[in-house]
Amino acid sequence: MEAFLISTSVVALAEMGDKTQLLSLVLAARFRKPWPIVLGIFVATVVNHALAGAVGAWITTYLGENALQWILGVSFIAMAAWMLIPDKLDEDEVGGHSQWGVFGATVVAFFLAEMGDKTQIATVMLAAKYAGAYVWVVLGTTLGMMLANAPVVWLGDKIVKKVPIRTVHMISAVIFLVLGLIALYGPVQQLLA
């Protein structure tokens, strides 16, 4: 349950002001059909995060516990710094997919926008951290994405204007920093022993 709750909260916070949240806003404004957009976001997120989670779980089979802890610790700290850099939406990520309908355009655009994104990288790291809880991590990160993006589709920029994005990014950065320091605690203790 810890993997699910941490994954949900970390991704929901990390997604605030992220380019995929901006993409949700653009798709909602362009197509004005919330249900196919939300369903498209869900499908793209499940597929993307299932693949990312599989990579994270796979990594744990090839790395020793000590190496994995170092990589996770440094990665979480790097993610904390990355959270402080605002995202921008590339217009190319939205255009050209409308021949597939609203649902298809959303799936393709959202899946591509999520490639290499903060939340995808976070999913890889969380799946590596909670190696035995792959399904819970993917369910949690997917729920986090939906909590951050579905309201934007229905409520548009009203919700984005009311949420202090900078504060949310700072909270996310602190959470990632704490996770990084926790992950590094064991390896650092071994070095000092």
pLDDT tens by residue, 94-126 = 554 556 688 998 999 889 888 888 889 899 999
Query: Mean pLDDT, to the nearest integer, of 17-26?
Result: 80
DSSP letters spanning 22-38: HHHHHHHHHH--HHHHH
Range of the domain at 161: 2-192
Q: For residues 146 and 18, is the Cβ–Cβ distance under 8 A?
A: no
The mean pLDDT of the chain is: 83
Q: In this structure, what DSSP letter does residue 100 have?
A: G
Tokens of 192: 């000092």
Sign, CA dihedral 20-26-28-31, equals negative
Q: In this structure, what DSSP letter does residue 86 have?
A: P
Which residues, other chains included, contact 117 with Cβ-Cβ below 8 Å and sequence gap of 6+? 18, 19, 20
Model pLDDT for residues 121-175, shown as the tens digit of each residue: 899 999 998 988 999 999 999 999 999 999 989 887 566 566 666 776 677 778 7
Q: Between 98 and 45, where is the model more confident?
A: 45
* Angstrom distance (rounded) from CA 144 to CA 9: 6
pLDDT at 160: 56
Which residues, other chains included, contact 174 with Cβ-Cβ below 8 Å and sequence gap of 6+? 80
* Angstrom distance (rounded) from CA 175 to CA 76: 9
Beta strands in the chain (DSSP E): none
Q: For residues 130 and 123, is the Cβ–Cβ distance under 8 A?
A: no
Q: For residues 125 and 63, is the Cβ–Cβ distance under 8 A?
A: no
Number of domains the chain is built from: 1
Q: Where are the alpha helices (DSSP H) in 156-164?
A: 157-162
* Angstrom distance (rounded) from CA 162 to CA 27: 20
Q: In this structure, what DSSP letter does residue 18 have?
A: -
